[in-house]
């Protein structure tokens, strides 16, 4: 069997930065807290836990020490609370998310109704809402944005992991229902490259194994893209979840990881697939 790795794999720069900042804080000693999972990957979460890093849901859960803001960012009020409590703050927000936050605030300050494309409960979107003022709406599906009323002035931004085609479709629709439209394309280019790589895999193999956290939005989107291209996709977090029946009879299988999936996890999955194939051929 041939295992074909996607041309794009490993940590994106935002995830790499967040993990490195958290590990560096842990190495300096003292209590270190991640405000939510620093990235949506259970293996990374366990690695940080082994270094003494504790995950909390709110700044009030940290009696002292250092709080690391995760790659997804937080609303301004949460950042202010960290500082008010006298906690040391390390901001590991991805630079592209910071860019989206600035654009969101700009739209709100200029009086636009802010339209955010994304999952309402996703931490990145929760953060963006904190910059959007009082007049905003979050939409995730075509059915939701088709219900938007006509608007005089609309401004649009996106959760970084949304598919680019969804952003284009939303913008196209908003041109029809708004008199004035201001657009900031905040879809992450690294995520887009990863999505293109998933689509390419689906064109050359019938089955693709997608590796990443089950709560990772960008990983789930890779699964969706493979299936949209007519392929079979299996979403696993690690090599132990591989079912031999998925791959034993295949001549080739594709392999891709989300942007928060470390290469060592991806290679462990590759080894597991190859061992299954070797056993089937024996």
Assess contact for 174 and 181: CB atoms under 8 A: yes
Identify any residues that bridge with 54 across adjacent strands, giving them in sequence order: 33
Radius of gyration (Cα) for the chain, nearest Å? 21
pLDDT of residue 215: 87
Q: Which residues pair with 154 in a beta bridge?
A: 113, 181
Q: What is the pLDDT of residues 52-97, one digit of tens each?
A: 999 999 999 999 999 999 999 999 999 999 999 999 999 999 999 9
Handedness of CA 154, 157, 162, 167 (dihedral sign): positive
* pLDDT of residue 22 exceeding 80: yes
Q: Looking at residues 13-28, what average pLDDT do you find?
A: 93
Q: Is 124 a catalytic residue?
A: yes
Distance CA 151, CA 167 (A): 18
| H/E stretch holding 246 | helix 244-247
| Residue with tokens 């802010």, as numbered in its chain | 114
Domains of the chain are 2-10+190-281 (3.40.1010.20), 13-93 (3.40.50.11270), 96-187 (3.40.1010.20)
Question: What pLDDT, on the 0 to 100 scale, is given for residue 217?
Answer: 86
The predicted pLDDT at position 12 comes to 87
Which of 211, 207, 203 has its CA nearest to residue 248? 207
**CA nearest 151: which of 123, 179, 175?**
179
Long-range contacts of 33-37 (CB under 8 A, 24+ apart): 33/61, 33/62, 33/65, 33/66, 33/67, 33/68, 34/67, 34/68, 34/70, 35/59, 35/67, 35/68, 35/69, 35/70, 35/74, 35/78, 35/82, 36/70, 36/72, 36/123, 37/70, 37/215
Catalytic residue among 8, 124, 140, 237: 124
Is the pLDDT confidence value at 282 over 80?
A: no
CA distance 152 to 47: 49
Looking at every residue in the chain, the average pLDDT score rounds to 94
Helix, strand or coil, per DSSP, at residue 129? helix
Question: For residues 187, 189, 192 and 193, what is the CA-based torsion angle, rounded to 10 degrees?
Answer: 180
Sheet holding 178-183, edge to edge: 136-139, 113-117, 151-158, 178-183
- Closest by CA position to 260, among listed 37, 64, 49: 37
């Amino acid at each position: 069997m041939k295992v074909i790795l996607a041309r794009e794999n490993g940590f994106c720069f935002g995830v790499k930065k967040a993990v490195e900042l958290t590990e560096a804080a842990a190495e300096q000693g003292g209590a270190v807290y991640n405000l939510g999972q620093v990235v949506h990957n259970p293996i990374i979460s366990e690695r940080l836990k082994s270094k003494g890093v504790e995950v909390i849901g709110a700044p009030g859960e940290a009696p002292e020490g250092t709080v690391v803001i995760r790659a997804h960012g937080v609303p301004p009020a949460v950042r202010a609370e960290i500082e008010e409590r006298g906690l040391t703050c390390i901001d590991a927000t991805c630079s592209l998310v910071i860019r989206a936050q600035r654009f969101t605030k700009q739209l709100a300050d200029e009086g636009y109704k802010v339209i955010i494309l994304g999952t309402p409960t996703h931490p990145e979107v929760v953060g963006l809402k904190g910059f959007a003022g009082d007049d905003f709406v979050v939409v995730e599906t075509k059915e939701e944005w088709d219900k938007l009323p006509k608007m005089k002035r609309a401004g649009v931004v996106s959760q970084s992991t949304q598919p680019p085609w969804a952003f284009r479709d939303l913008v196209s629709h908003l041109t029809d229902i708004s008199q004035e439209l201001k657009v900031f394309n905040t879809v992450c280019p690294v995520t887009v490259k990863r999505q293109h790589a998933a689509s390419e895999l689906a064109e050359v193999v019938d089955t693709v194994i997608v590796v990443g956290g089950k709560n990772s939005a960008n990983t789930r989107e890779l699964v969706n893209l493979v299936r949209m291209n007519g392929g079979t996709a299996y979403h696993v977090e690690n090599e132990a979840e591989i079912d031999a029946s998925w791959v034993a009879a295949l001549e080739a299988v594709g392999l891709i990881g989300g942007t928060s999936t470390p290469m060592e996890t991806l290679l462990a999955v590759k080894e597991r697939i190859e061992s299954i194939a070797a056993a089937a051929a024996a």
